[in-house]
Amino acid sequence: MELIVARNREDLVKARRGGTVALVPTMGALHEGHRSLIRQARVRADQVVVSIFVNPLQFGPNEDFSRYPRTFDADLDVCRAEGVEVVFHPSADDMYPPDRQVAVSSGEMGRVVEGAARPGHFDGVLTVVLKLFNLVQPDLAVFGQKDAQQLALIRRMVADLDLPIEILGAPTVREPDGLALSSRNRYLSEDDRQVALALSRALRAGAAQLTPDEIRAEARKLLDAAGPALDLDYLALVDPATFGEVDDDFEGLAVLAVAARVGSTRLIDNVTLTLGPADRPS
């Protein structure tokens, strides 16, 4: 079946056919991590829609909106290879009317950790995701665990607003050296890339410890060892339900999250671990 490129609501209506619809929202520059999301959607749905839209609302005034990679023709090739039926590729004017006034608030959960480092970011994320849900009308949507706080907030929005959509999380896909796949990795020089490996190494080292204090200390030690070439935004050990920092008495699943700038490129990563009295895998 020929891949359909839809650019507005009318195109989406024409492209829709019967059966279960899965949405994979992306900002393009597709890589193996995106392919894994598409494949998970493919298993569950009769029709897969991939959105490709670099969302201006989630970029701050000093962030890399204009620099964000745009590789639409290559992205279409990826979608064809993965059997995607529809690519939704709207313009900013199609998505946001000039007199737009209403947006989604991410609440307290959107103002901590990544939200504290990027004020307003998650308001922009949730606004565009809700619009995509309303336009595409999927039965399910797939997001990557690499953006753990984003995934948690989307699940919170779906629950709070009673949206009839199933949200699936897909594991982080990594390079053989451990670096989490990201569209921004292409901006890393060879030297930058070696520095960036400190993020995944720190997460693994922290996750091998037993207590919250030990986890944070071990991870921070490896990040500090990377030297001044790694500019740390945050290292946080949080409850995945709230993204609030956990204390020594916390038991259950936790997320160890990190964000740092290497050269001109900002990277994020995380691992999920289990805190409590029982032994747990590293």
Annotated active-site residue 34? The verdict is yes
The rounded distance, in Å, linking the Cα atoms of 115 and 223 is 21
Does 89 appear as a known binding residue?
A: no
Does 147 appear as a known binding residue?
A: yes
Does 107 appear as a known binding residue?
A: no
The rounded distance, in Å, linking the Cα atoms of 243 and 253 is 12
Does 128 appear as a known binding residue?
A: no
17 CA to centre of own chain: 28
Residue of 34, 89, 131, 266 with catalytic role: 34
**Residue 234 C-beta-side C-alpha neighbours within 13 Å:** 16
The rounded distance, in Å, linking the Cα atoms of 65 and 56 is 7
Does 32 appear as a known binding residue?
A: yes
Token representation of residue 246: 């956990």
Does 28 appear as a known binding residue?
A: yes
Please name every residue paired with 260 in a beta bridge, in sequence order, or none if there are none.
232, 267
Closest residue by Cα to residue 272 from 172, 181, 184, 150: 172
Does 173 appear as a known binding residue?
A: yes
Cβ(188)–Cβ(263) under 8 Å?
A: yes
Does 150 appear as a known binding residue?
A: yes
Does 146 appear as a known binding residue?
A: yes
Does 27 appear as a known binding residue?
A: yes
Closest residue by Cα to residue 275 from 224, 240, 242: 240
Does 12 appear as a known binding residue?
A: no
Closest residue by Cα to residue 38 from 25, 57, 24: 24
Pairing of strands 140-144, 86-88: unpaired
Does 105 appear as a known binding residue?
A: no
Does 95 appear as a known binding residue?
A: no
Does 227 appear as a known binding residue?
A: no
* CB-based contacts of 279, cutoff 8 Å, min separation 6: none
SS3 of residue 25 by DSSP = strand
Does 82 appear as a known binding residue?
A: no
Closest residue by Cα to residue 30 from 89, 84, 70: 70
Could you list the residues known to form a binding site for (R)-pantoate, using ranges: 58, 150
Report the catalytic residues: 34
Could you list the residues known to form a binding site for beta-alanine, using ranges: 58
Could you list the residues known to form a binding site for ATP, using ranges: 27-34, 144-147, 173, 181-184
Could you list the residues known to form a binding site, using ranges: 27-34, 58, 144-147, 150, 173, 181-184
